[in-house]
Amino acid sequence: MDIIALVGALAVLFIVIGVSEPLSERLRLPFTVILAIVGAVIGALALYVLSSDVASALNPVMRRFLEIPIRSNVFLYVLLPTLLFQVALMVNARRMLDDWVPILVMAVGAVIVATIVIGYALSPFTTLSFAACLLIGAIVSTTDPSAVVSIFRNIAAPQRLTRIVEGESLLNDAAAIALFGFFLTFVMSGVPDPSLQDALVIFPWLVLGGIGLGLILARVTVALMALIPTFPRAQVSISVALPYLTYIIAEQFLATSGVIAVVVAGLTLNLTGPGRLTPMSWTYLREVWEVLAYWAGALIFILAALLIPRLMGDLRLSDLFLICIIILAAFVARAIILWGMLPALSLMRLSPQVEPAYRAAIMWGGLRGAVTLALALAVTENALVPPAIKREVGILATGFTLFTLLVQGTTLRWVIARLGLDRLPRLDQALSHQVIAVALQNVREEIAETARDFKLPQEVIRSEAKRFAERLDSAVELAEAAEAIPDRDRITLGLVALAGRERDLIIENFRQQLFSARLVDRMLSDVDRLIEQTRGGGRNEYRAAGRRALGYGGWYRLAVVVHNRLRWSLPLERMTAERFELLLNQRLILGELHGYINSKIRRIHGRRVAELLHELLRRREEETDNAIEGLRLQYPGYAEEMERRFIRRASIRLEEREYETLFGDGLISRELYTTLRNRLTERRTRVEARPALDFALQKDAFLRSFPLFEGMHDDQRRQLARALRTHHVEPGTVLLRKGEVPHCVYFIASGAVEMERKGQKMRLGRGEFFGHIGLLTRQPRRAMISAISHCTLLSLDETRFKRLLTRNRSLYDAVLHSAELRGVTLDNAALSDPPKLP
């Protein structure tokens, strides 16, 4: 095929794509269904023309245009990596991690179940080997839920459910193609019945090898892109190379799953990219990838549809029977997941409760499309596959795909309407009348001022005012006649709106570069969780989600264990610094939400609801302030440095805005504007570099704040700092138990602990120490000591403590005083000689 015919073919296909999208909207059919229908019609016409006498009269260029060679490698190496990488780049990866169990079950589990069920269902009715039946099952098991996802978004389905279906669309292609490659190996080698042992040898490498390769290449790519922060087009160019190189290396050199490698690479860039690229570069990169994926997705569907007449050319009556078996088996496999595994996960609280209506919509919306046809084409082109298997795979996979597109796809909206999912919930319906009334009142005030400003004729203004007043009166009557909304529901709706505004403020501050890009995704994930839980549980869940966002989390606790046991502080230092920044950002956002309550929510829900929302918001502010104050006590001076950095970022943004205004007004030249912007970029890079949180320096600051060590010389204090070990403990951690003999002394750098002895409790706070009495007397403890807050403790072993005791008179006197308070007598052997006074 020459370049002229190729360019002409692509031009025509892009015209078809451009026409199909508005056509799908007008006909209210999924975009992919329209592409499939149009592509099949074009393919059928081309096949007819080439097989008739008309072909001989055509121009040679036109004939080559109709004879476009569509190969499976075009799908697998050109279009599929783009599509998968963009989906992995756009999903909310952090929120997906919260629901990884149902996503894996819906994607990987569903693919495996469908492959097995379809394989066993086909086996008794065909002469194909069992491996070939499983191969067909793997080919048709991949679903394209994009149609049902788009409809779920339009009908305001639960966000968590939509996210699970989106996660399935990302991972089921990877799982299906990995299974396809696994069973294709047995079909090509002539193995009729693959064993479990064969699967355990081959399949793990397909998965684990792809995961490892995707992680490594994505990390290298992000590091390379971070070296050129001021060249967004260069960064996009490097990102475009990532999925293709990943796929080629995985498939051609490592014999692992290229699809899994591409998906992991996209997810890794999704998680790490925002923290290494500027907000403008990251936004630009995502926009470019959206366009690339739109083209790739449309081309992969229409090119695959062009193959339908060719693949279905040898259809027989017996093939229709086998297609019906596949259809029935696919629905059974889908039902096992949706009505079997998913409810079981809900009972174990690993998945949200999915209503039967939504499950039915998901089952009917599991369309098959381009990936299924591309895999079938790959089998028909494979010279090592027997001809009988090629024919059956091509016909059965294509026939099943046509059924899902032409039957399920065209009736999906009707099914959703019959299930009642297209209607507004009762609360939203009642609220809509009130919202319209309030909105029209605001519009009336503004439109009157607009009419006066434009000096329109008075008769026009009066007639339009009368017409608008009639509409407003009608809206007010509907609002008054509507079902009364209880205050409890109004509070829930107000909190959801408040959380939505919180999300908008985070994005706005990110675009203004006031918030660091490294934490924006986490803040947005916390707000999404806040919205979801509030919708389901009202104010109690709102408070619970807010407290969870302030919590430390499992990774932080793991970092604490690593620090305490292995003496590796870097992960804990990084997470603590991120927590500082996160809390400061959170405090700023919460302070701005009170104005939103007064200006917006109060007009819809009334004064009483607004006051309750103010109170709930103040509680979140207090909890945030307490968390910040706790970190201030643990790490003196660090919070102030972070606040200074925030002020500097804000000043840079305001300065940049001034330059933009001057340039827009024509007061400065483009050359001067570019020079000033470059200088600001350099300053912003320095400010974005977060100050290091060095536990060793913090330890020295702790020692200086202890009254016991005020008189120590600097060299002695440095020696003591090296000898002390730092421990970070959570509330409830038991530090010393009854009956234990302590082997070290603990100094409280921050936080508080509680000593319980004979039913009495005593609290120790910052600057105090414990464990010394048992260590000096060598007697088992008669009290239990546990942490009642997040604490930073400094420990000193027995030998060093006794040596310090002989050199520090303040510590010596403090030990004697605490022993007297506890009624314990310390002999000279325990205390050694008292240190000499200076």
3-class state of residue 794 by DSSP = strand
Asked if pLDDT for residue 65 goes beyond 60, the answer is no
pLDDT value of residue 301: 76
Mean pLDDT, residues 401-420 taken together: 82
Choose between 178 and 746: higher pLDDT: 746
Residue 309 pLDDT: 76
The predicted pLDDT at position 149 comes to 65
Which pLDDT belongs to residue 199?
56
Rounded to an integer, the average pLDDT of 257-278 is 85
Asked whether 772 and 788 are in contact (CB, 8 A), the reply is no
* Strand order across the 753-757 sheet: 734-736, 784-787, 753-757, 760-764
Residues 6+ apart with CB under 8 A from 650: 514
- Per-residue confidence at 241, pLDDT binned at 50, 70, 90? very high
pLDDT of the residue at 128: 83
Distances (CA, A) of 641 to 649, 652, 680, 691, 693: 13, 17, 20, 8, 11
- Which tens digits make up the pLDDT trace of 523-545? 887 888 888 788 777 888 888 88
Task: Output the pTM of the full model.
Answer: 0.69
Task: Quote the pLDDT of residue 239.
Answer: 93
Cβ atoms of 371 and 141 within 8 Å: the answer is: no
Three-class SS state of 732: coil
Dump pLDDT digits (tens) for 320-379.
Answer: 899 999 999 999 998 898 888 888 887 877 777 777 887 888 888 777 776 787 788 888
Instruction: Choose among 356, 335, 400: nearest CA to 137.
Output: 400
Separation between Cα atoms, residue 321 and residue 125, nearest integer Å: 9
Under a CB-based contact definition with an 8 Å cutoff, are residues 391 and 453 in contact? no
Residue 297 corresponds to which tokens in the numbers above?
Answer: 């997705």
Q: Residue 838: what pLDDT?
A: 45
> Mind listing the pLDDT tens digit for each residue in 662-672?
888 888 888 88
